[in-house]
Amino acid sequence: MKIVRPFLRRFLRAQRLPTRELQFWRDQMLSAILSVALVLGSVTAIPSVLMAIRDQLYSIVLIDVLAIGWLLVLWRWRTLSFAARSWNFLLIVYSVGVFFLFKVGPVSQIYLMAVPVLAALLLGLRPAVFVLALNAVTLISIGYAFDIDLQFDRYHDRPFLRWVIITLNFSFISSVITVSCAVLLRRLEESLRKQMQISVSLQEEQQSLRDANEDLRLISAAVENLNDMVMITDNNLRDNGPHLVFVNKAFERSTGYSRDEALGSNLEMLYGPNSDIHEIHRIRSAMSTRHAIRSEIISYTKSKEEFWLEVDIRPINNQQGQCTHYVAIERDITDRKKAELDIYRLAFFDVLTGLPNRRLLRDRMSVQLANAQRTGNYSAVLFIDLDHFKTINDARGHATGDILLIEVANRLSNLLREVDTVARIGGDEFVVLVDSLDPHIEVAGKLALTIAEKIRHALSQDFLINDQAYSSSCSIGVSLMQKVGQNVDDLLRESDTAMYRAKSAGRNQIAFFEGNMQTEVEHRLTLERDLTKALEQNELQMVMQAQVNYAGIAVGAELLMRWHSKERGMVSPAIFIPLAEESGLIVRMGDWVLAQACSILKLLQNEGHQFPLSINVSPKQFRQKDFVDKVTATLAAQEISGQYLIFEVTEGLFIDDLQETISRMSKLSALGIRFSIDDFGTGYSSLNYLKRLPLYELKIDKSFVQDIPDDANGTAIVGSILSMAKQFGLKVVAEGVETEEQANYLIANDCDSMQGFLYSRPTAPELWLANQTRLKDQLQALTISV
């Protein structure tokens, strides 16, 4: 009992619902039982019915017919639930058994015994136990109550005991058979459930395996088709290892090696003479310590072509954490490296010459300045500017100018050491940084001068460009480093200042920076600021110098600008006019001069003087896009005719865009304005423009006039200009006439008019008019007295 009790308790309390497969099997079994019961029951019922009819037992006939009919209904009624069909079938068997208990006796126990067994098969243990209890109650109650004879001859005197014994024996055998069927069915159910679990697990494992295979296929396909190279090696770092065990197609495409050629080799098959040995050692060290590493290194294809690789190497560990392989992901970054190099070159090198630019020069100067201050050795900065480069650039085109700059860069690079720096900082300006000359300033200065002289001499040699020789020269400013508190900006400013000193000394010169040079620069800046204020505060004024004919009669006048500063006093035009040109103030000043000329013209005309006035027009002013419009508007506002104005221009105006110059001169000529070439003979242009431009007169420069008639060369030049002017139909004005001899020679050679101190000094228009009135009055008084 100790063994049976927990067994029954477990089955009775923990009855599980049948699995779907077991339920399906019970459904099939019920259908099969109903079919067999219907067929065999019908076969069995026929003789039973016949015998019952013969014996006039019509109740047996009725019960057989009802049972067969009921079975037929259950067999056909498929939509009825399984439990309902099962309980109906059990009820049929139970009812037949109870009926036979009354009518037949012992045969009934077969039917009653079948009910719990079928209940166990169809519905489970709990319904079977219920049916066992029902059978026991049925046997003891019906058998005892109706004293049914079951051929049990004992205990006739005690009928209740007799039925208890019959019931117990019946229940015992019935329970054994029922429980056996239930346990068998339960074991079958558990077995089926385990099989289902195993089947489900197998299906899951198979699905997982299929998923893993699909993932592996996708990964393999992705790795094979990556643009990046993928290489896998073993972990054998000895024997010239590790060795390649896998490469993808990108490796074959990029390197030219086939997979068969690569497998078994090591990563260093891609290295070559320009591969960085330090990076190779770093990669080896990382792999020997089982660490990941990223590197960029020059690699080589099978055909020995260089290309840049970005390498990312990582160890692959197994479940125990041991390194079994290495995977290397490598990407061709050649284009990126080229772009980085291009960006670096654009940032730090001059595009035309390939020399370092201002930015890289400043970096190197900072380093060199620190080294000079640490070691005590002097270095030198040479600021080089090409002389008259603009003339070549404008006359022969920018292409020729660019070639000249490249040739200059090559000569400078060939002259200097590798430790020195040659830089182009813009236009025709170069800077040379000479490293570590000497710890003594005198020696360092001499060495710097020697180097500067070599550069000056080299650049003064002719340049052969497109089979044509071009001569050039340079002005060089030299500054020495190191000085207390000196920085890069100081060095560049000092050498630049020295270079301008070399230019002002006549060009093709070398000048060292001196302390007073900086003073001059600051003075120049102050002067430029004061000149701007002078224009705003009306410190500028116009004076006029008459141009007279052979009889000394004024036939014209030139207006000249003067600056009387409240702080500086009179400032020479030779100082402030070039400054205005360089700073751009000449444009505003030119507009002011034009307006003043119109006002002075009106003043002269009101006093009866009908001769033209000449004003100087700067090339920078003339090339302003709105210059013609400004002149037109000023003449209209002042109500002045352009025929009383002569614009004096220099020959430098005709170098840039001659066609545009001709067009503007023609528009101004249409207003009546005439043009005079000032300082004729001192420029660089050809005489071709004399026949192409709408010119009115030539002005002979005073440098030629002052040599006549004693100097043969000067006299020849003046005579040639006078003769040429007649050939072209141009008037001639000789300026700077200071002696009677000069005047007589000019008059004898038919010079149209003369200007100079011999006849008048530059005078304010009002004063000139007053002098003319006084002379006129004196002449009238002399006439009357005569």
Model pLDDT, residue 529 = 83
Model pLDDT, residue 727 = 85
pLDDT class of 559 with cuts at 50, 70, 90: very high
Model pLDDT, residue 552 = 86
Report the DSSP beta bridge partners of residue 675: 647
Which residues does 237 contact at the CB level (< 8 Å), separation at least 6?
287, 288
Gyration radius (Cα) of the chain, Å? 62
Model pLDDT, residue 393 = 78
- Taking the model in full, what pTM does it have? 0.46
CB contact at 8 A, 101 and 115: no
What is the torsional sign of CA 319, 321, 322, 323? positive
**Which of the pair, 15 or 82, is modelled with greater confidence?**
82
CB contact at 8 A, 596 and 540: no
501-557 tens-digit pLDDT: 888 878 888 888 875 555 665 577 678 888 888 888 888 999 999 999 988 888 999
Name residue, tokens 């089947």.
199
Model pLDDT, residue 685 = 45
Asked which of 5-14, 302-311, 664-673 is least confident by mean pLDDT, the reply is 5-14
pLDDT class of 17 with cuts at 50, 70, 90: very low
Q: What DSSP string describes 712-778?
A: HHHHHHHHHHHHHHHHHT-EEEEE---SHHHHHHHHHTT-SEEESTTT---B-HHHHHHHHHHHHHH
Please give the torsion angle defined by the CA atoms of residues 165, 169, 174 and 177, in that order, rounded to the nearest 10 degrees: 160
The C-alpha angle with vertex 187 and arms to 183 and 192, in degrees rounded to 5, equals 145
Average pLDDT taken over every residue of the chain: 80
486-500 tens-digit pLDDT: 788 888 888 898 898
pLDDT of residue 645 exceeding 90, the answer is: yes
3-state secondary structure of 468: strand
The token pair that represents 690 in the structure block? 């004399």
Taking Cα atoms as reference points, which of 469, 547, 543, 474 lies closest to residue 511?
474
The C-alpha angle with vertex 680 and arms to 747 and 531, in degrees rounded to 5, equals 115
* Residue 376 Rama label (left phi>0; alpha psi -120 to 50; beta): left
pLDDT of residue 430 exceeding 90, the answer is: yes
Type of residue at 576: F
Model pLDDT, residue 556 = 92
Which residues does 501 contact at the CB level (< 8 Å), separation at least 6?
477, 511, 517
Average pLDDT estimate for 290-295: 87
Model pLDDT, residue 13 = 45
48-64 tens-digit pLDDT: 667 767 666 667 677 77
Average pLDDT estimate for 423-440: 88
State the Cα–Cα distance between residues 203 and 196, nearest whole angstrom.
10
Which own/partner contact pairs does 701-708 have at CB distance under 8 Å and 24+ positions apart?
701/735, 701/736, 702/735, 702/736, 702/756, 703/736, 705/734, 705/735, 705/736, 705/737, 705/742, 705/746, 705/756, 706/736, 706/738, 706/742, 708/741, 708/742, 708/745, 708/746
**Cβ atoms within 10 Å of 242's Cβ, excluding its own:** 19
**Which of the pair, 80 or 781, is modelled with greater confidence?**
80
Give start and end residues of each alpha helix (H) in 226-311. Answer: 249-255, 259-262, 277-288
Model pLDDT, residue 212 = 75
Model pLDDT, residue 782 = 58
Which residues does 706 contact at the CB level (< 8 Å), separation at least 6?
714, 736, 738, 742
Name residue, tokens 């207003």.
671
Model pLDDT, residue 107 = 59
Asked which of 27-31, 608-612, 698-702 is least confident by mean pLDDT, the reply is 27-31
Tell me which DSSP letter residue 495 carries.
H
648-688 tens-digit pLDDT: 988 777 766 778 888 889 999 999 999 998 877 665 445 66
State the Cα–Cα distance between residues 18 and 13, nearest whole angstrom.
15
Model pLDDT, residue 5 = 52
Residues listed for the chain = 786
707-738 tens-digit pLDDT: 888 888 888 888 888 888 888 889 999 999 99
**Cβ atoms within 10 Å of 570's Cβ, excluding its own:** 9
